[in-house]
């Protein structure tokens, strides 16, 4: 038994922090256990109390709420921990889906674990996995990325680091940026198969499957609703050694926005070289013979 497991068993008189998923568009996806938990805890820590109140009204849940969102996380944690330590149980919910998944929650979870408070996750709705299982893209292995950074240079750097990943990559994106983001993905990943999962669990649920270029055409015509983007892994090419010097390959990636270390790592992997060899070539350092 680990020290952490022992600490959570030891703290019988504290409350429990429950992590409760909520529907991502279809109220029928609320689980019996989620309703029961929200009814029986002392307090619900909600990302948006007005939004969660509608859910509580629907399921006739009368538990009190407290707001817990990205702008008051640090201020709220001591108060929530104190209540948990005094024996109150708290359920944390976000506006939709799983807490902590591109939503508030993770800092509270860490703080509760450190304080030896039991943390109990409930399974339930989540947009990424719901999209993945019907995407038709090889589901394992996959990487969940969530929202890319908004700043163009950071977005390009993140995508450059992901480009060599031999697995499906799942992104969240707002409808206002989906066409532009798909275009940047294609610019950096090259043409690939991909899926847009739109309005999951809702009336107009739709899966748009095709090449990145086809999805860009679709999204450019006016994308509405909520979207998950899943990009298939690139084709594994039997690579002939590149004629382009590795130093130039590194510079090209840096020019596209990659951080030097990420660029060196990717070029080393692509060329079957050690990182140090690529580092030396890039910095003009002579290898010792
Ligand atoms: N915590 C949530 C989860 O577990 O999936 C994600 C919350 S995140 C703030 C919201 C993003 O998730 C949206 O911008 C969209 O990319 C994706 N999303 C949420 N609901 C969706 C739905 N019904 N259909 C498609 N994508 C959805």
DSSP run (H or E) holding 282: helix 275-282
Is residue 226 domain-shared with residue 250, that is, in the same domain?
A: no
The answer to whether the beta carbons of residues 266 and 161 sit under 8 Å apart is yes
Mean pLDDT, residues 145-155 taken together: 96
Residues 67-101: tens digit of each pLDDT: 999 999 999 999 999 999 999 999 999 999 999 99
Is residue 95 domain-shared with residue 155, that is, in the same domain?
A: no
Which residues, other chains included, contact 129 with Cβ-Cβ below 8 Å and sequence gap of 6+? none
Is residue 212 domain-shared with residue 274, that is, in the same domain?
A: no
Ligand 1 site residues (CB inside 6 A) read: 24-25, 94, 96-98, 101-103, 126-128, 172-174, 197, 199-202, 226-228
Is residue 48 domain-shared with residue 110, that is, in the same domain?
A: yes
| pLDDT(7) > 60 | no
Number of domains in the chain: 3
| pLDDT(8) > 50 | no
On whether residue 2 sits in a domain, the answer given is no
Last residue of a domain, one of 125, 156, 173: 125
pLDDT band at 10 (very low <50, low <70, confident <90, very high): very low
Higher pLDDT, 64 or 11: 64
Mean pLDDT, residues 55-74 taken together: 97
On whether residue 12 sits in a domain, the answer given is no
CA-to-CA distance for 200 and 97, rounded, in angstroms? 11
> Which ligand 1 atom is at minimum distance from the Cα of 94?
1
Last residue of a domain, one of 95, 125, 155: 125
On whether residue 6 sits in a domain, the answer given is no
Is residue 22 domain-shared with residue 62, that is, in the same domain?
A: yes
For residue 174, give its domain range: 143-231
> Which ligand 1 atom is at minimum distance from the Cα of 128?
5
On whether residue 135 sits in a domain, the answer given is no
The answer to whether the beta carbons of residues 67 and 94 sit under 8 Å apart is no
Q: What is the CATH number of the domain that holds 226?
A: 3.30.950.10
Is residue 227 domain-shared with residue 269, that is, in the same domain?
A: no
What Cα–Cα distance (Å) separates residue 188 from each residue in 164, 224, 239, 253, 267? 10, 25, 18, 10, 14
| pLDDT(65) > 70 | yes
On whether residue 262 sits in a domain, the answer given is yes
144 DSSP β-pair partners:
170
* The pLDDT of residue 239: 56
């Amino acid at each position: 038994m680990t020290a952490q497991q022992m600490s959570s068993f030891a703290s019988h008189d504290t409350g429990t922090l429950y992590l409760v998923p909520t529907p991502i568009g279809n109220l029928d996806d609320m689980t019996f256990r989620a309703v029961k938990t929200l009814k029986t805890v002392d307090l619900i820590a909600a990302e948006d109390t007005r939004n969660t109140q509608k859910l509580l009204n629907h399921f006739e849940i009368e538990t009190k709420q407290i707001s817990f969102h990205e702008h008051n996380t640090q201020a709220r944690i001591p108060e929530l921990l104190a209540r948990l330590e005094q024996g109150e149980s708290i359920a944390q919910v976000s506006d939709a889906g799983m807490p902590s998944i591109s939503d508030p929650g993770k800092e509270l979870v860490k703080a509760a674990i450190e304080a030896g408070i039991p943390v109990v996750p409930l399974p339930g709705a989540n947009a990424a996995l719901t999209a993945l299982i019907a995407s038709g893209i090889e589901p394992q292995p996959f990487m969940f990325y969530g929202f890319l950074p908004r700043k163009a240079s950071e977005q390009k750097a993140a995508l450059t680091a992901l480009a060599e990943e031999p697995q499906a990559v799942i992104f969240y994106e707002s409808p206002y940026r989906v066409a532009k983001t798909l275009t940047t993905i294609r610019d950096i990943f090259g043409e690939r198969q991909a899926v847009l999962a739109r309005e999951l669990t809702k009336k107009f649920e739709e899966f748009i499957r095709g090449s990145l270029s086809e999805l860009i055409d679709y999204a450019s015509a006016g994308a509405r609703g909520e979207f998950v983007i899943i990009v298939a892994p690139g084709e594994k090419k039997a690579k002939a050694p590149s004629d382009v010097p590795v130093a130039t390959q590194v510079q090209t990636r840096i020019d596209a926005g990659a951080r030097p270390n990420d660029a060196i790592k990717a070029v080393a992997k692509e060329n079957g070289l050690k990182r140090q060899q690529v580092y030396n070539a890039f910095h003009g350092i002579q290898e010792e013979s």
